Amino acid sequence: MQRMACSFPDEVLEHVFSFVQCDNDRNAISTVCKSWYKIERWSRRRVFVGNCYAISPDMVIRRFPDVRSIELKGKPHFADFNLVPDGWGGYVAPWISAMAAAYPWLEEIRLKRMVITDENLELISKSFKNFKVLVLSSCEGFSTDGLAAIAANCRSYLHCRNLRELDLRESEVEDLSGHWLKHFPDDYTSLVSLNIACLGCEVSFSALERLVGRCPNLRTLRLNRAVPLDKLANLLRRAPQLVELGTGAYSSELRPDVFSNLSGAFSGCKELKSLSGFWDVVPGYLPAVYPICCRLTTLNLSYATIQSPDLIKLVGQCQNLQRLWVLDYIEDAGLDAVAASCKDLRELRVFPSDPYGPEPNVPLTEQGLVSISEGCSKLQSVLYFCRQMSNAALMTIARNRPNMTRFRLCIIEPGTPDYLTLQPLDVGFGAIVEHCKDLQRLSLSGLLTDLVFEYIGTYAKKLEMLSVAFAGESDLGLHHVLSGCEKLRKLEIRDCPFGDKALLANAAKLETMRSLWMSSCSVTFGACKLLGQKMPRLNVEVIDERGTPDSRPESCPIDKLYIYRTVAGSRFDMPGFVWTIDEDSAMRLS
């Protein structure tokens, strides 16, 4: 067998391997024999690092010398909800420096929840001869000056550099000025995708118009709120080939000429499949998009503060809709209409219009979700904020949609029971995990005992990510999950009475997962120290802004705990409020 494997020239094997793109398959190929390992590592072009602290840049570069595309993730998911203090980490700087030296042909950088500075952006703009794609998802630490550097260096005669994608999804950008857009050179025409929806400042509109006008391959354009509606038609007429559009503020005085201009412009966009934006919607302007509704597959109305009747009129025309994001203004009645019209729906997200109000402000209940589960046979992914739920509804949803793969339910008030029976919602969620055998992601809410975790541990065999808040009664709950969920990669828990026992009993499990987050639980510093000592391939980070955990009794619960597997050892950039423990049992400060 070995002789046969070696009898193919390297180039042939490399060519065969080039058809295999999936990371897991590539990893498998590399374990066949030394020669395959060698060929594979030289030909790996795309690397995904799910936790930037799990490995060091040098280790990646040493193994894969010729990477063209890298994706890095930094902070844990709960950072999205302000649970991770500023300064915790996730700095991309060491990666950029190392790659600037080692990967001159790098084409794509995709970052999520990382800290990137203007200096880093400038280094990116100058270091990579063929740079094409920059995606910054939920990142922070940079300003519009950094964007100016990217724009200014997007095109290079010396090299073949031609930026194609600049996507700032939901990043936090310091708005110093809208002039950065002017830095795109006049002869730059290769833009394919531009997403600036997260920017607060007004960008130079004439520069934007000219840029859009001279880039014939532009497919995706997501504007920010500051782009007024009366300017939208001009942009659309310059880019009728757009496939994805995010409008700016969708409001203006109602004027027939503006309306007809806009309507005509939309009609001219025959390829448009995705719409988003819609801040500050004036309902009178919605009919301008009716002509294209039948082609839409994605519709994001999650900023649109319009009422159910207007939403129904709009969504009712989108028979080919696959993805709908909307506010709870849609109401149960609106979701009934969606269930009747949008038979191809795969993903639904319903966001709360009044997340902090004490009382429900709209008639949106569990019933809306039940209707969708009945009417939309292809439904796979749900994110649903509501204020009441019942076990009966959950069981109905589970039986209707066994093909569900992502189910995230947020009942707004913590600890809310089944509103019909006043029982915990254990059996309802139990039905979800029992029927939806391919469930990959689950978020729980409402009143829940240890029983729900027993169900999860028993049935959720494909579950990869679980989010838990204000649930459970004892360590048994956590133990069920850690011992039962074979495919679990990410577990995030807040405000649950889980402590040391389950954690220590399942220490080995933690090495099979990407990460575990626990905040406001009952884990003691003593247990953390023990875990850190026993498990050298885990970083056990205690995050506590109250000062050193040693100043409190060892039995006192810590504030936040973030455990992740790593081959890079303790990191060097920890701030003062993060404590970690290494093998020689000394408590290490940054």
Chain contacts with other proteins (rule: CB under 8 A): 78, 80-83, 170, 198, 200-202, 225-226, 279-280, 302-303, 305, 307, 329, 351-359, 361-362, 385, 410, 412-417, 422-424, 426-427, 447, 449-451, 454-455, 458, 469-470, 473, 494-495
Strands 406-411 and 381-386, by their bridges, are: parallel
How open is the CA angle 511-515-516, to the nearest 5 degrees?
A: 105
CB 514 within 8 A of CB 490: yes
Nearest to 377 by CA among 404, 349, 414, 409: 404
Nearest distance in Å: CB 431, other proteins:
12
CB 135 within 8 A of CB 110: yes
Torsion over CA: 154, 159, 161, 162 (sign): positive
Q: Which two tokens stand for residue 520?
A: 């406001």
> Nearest 10 degrees: CA dihedral of 416, 421, 425, 426?
140
Nearest to 565 by CA among 506, 530, 529, 516: 516
Q: Which residues does 573 contact at the CB level (< 8 Å), separation at least 6?
A: 89, 91, 590
Q: How far apart are CA 517 and CA 513, in angstroms?
A: 11
Of 2 and 361, nearer to other proteins (C-beta) is 361
Q: How far apart are CA 147 and CA 170, in angstroms?
A: 15
Instruction: Report the 10 Å Cβ neighbour count for 486.
Output: 12
Of 132 and 494, nearer to other proteins (C-beta) is 494
CB 145 within 8 A of CB 116: no
Of 445 and 566, nearer to other proteins (C-beta) is 445
Of 273 and 560, nearer to other proteins (C-beta) is 560
- Counting every residue written for the chain, the total comes to 590
CA 257 distance to own-chain centroid: 40
Of 217 and 305, nearer to other proteins (C-beta) is 305
Nearest distance in Å: CB 449, other proteins:
6
Nearest distance in Å: CB 499, other proteins:
18
Of 412 and 558, nearer to other proteins (C-beta) is 412
Of 53 and 385, nearer to other proteins (C-beta) is 385
Of 167 and 454, nearer to other proteins (C-beta) is 454
Of 130 and 449, nearer to other proteins (C-beta) is 449
Nearest distance in Å: CB 249, other proteins:
9
Nearest distance in Å: CB 470, other proteins:
7
Nearest distance in Å: CB 469, other proteins:
7
Q: Which residues pair with 167 in a beta bridge?
A: 135, 195
Q: What are the CA-CA distances from residue 88 to residues 81, 85, 139, 278, 551 (Å)?
A: 14, 6, 13, 34, 21
Of 17 and 278, nearer to other proteins (C-beta) is 278
Nearest distance in Å: CB 355, other proteins:
5
Of 292 and 427, nearer to other proteins (C-beta) is 427
Nearest distance in Å: CB 172, other proteins:
8
Q: How far apart are CA 461 and CA 514, in angstroms?
A: 17
Nearest distance in Å: CB 357, other proteins:
5
Please identify which residue in the block is written with the tokens 């794509």: 108
Strands 515-519 and 560-565, by their bridges, are: antiparallel
Q: How far apart are CA 542 and CA 244, in angstroms?
A: 43
Nearest distance in Å: CB 299, other proteins:
16
Q: How far apart are CA 427 and CA 51, in angstroms?
A: 34
Q: Which residues pair with 49 in a beta bridge?
A: 72
Of 60 and 394, nearer to other proteins (C-beta) is 394
Q: How far apart are CA 478 and CA 403, in angstroms?
A: 26
Nearest distance in Å: CB 356, other proteins:
5
Q: How far apart are CA 37 and CA 26, in angstroms?
A: 9
Nearest distance in Å: CB 276, other proteins:
11
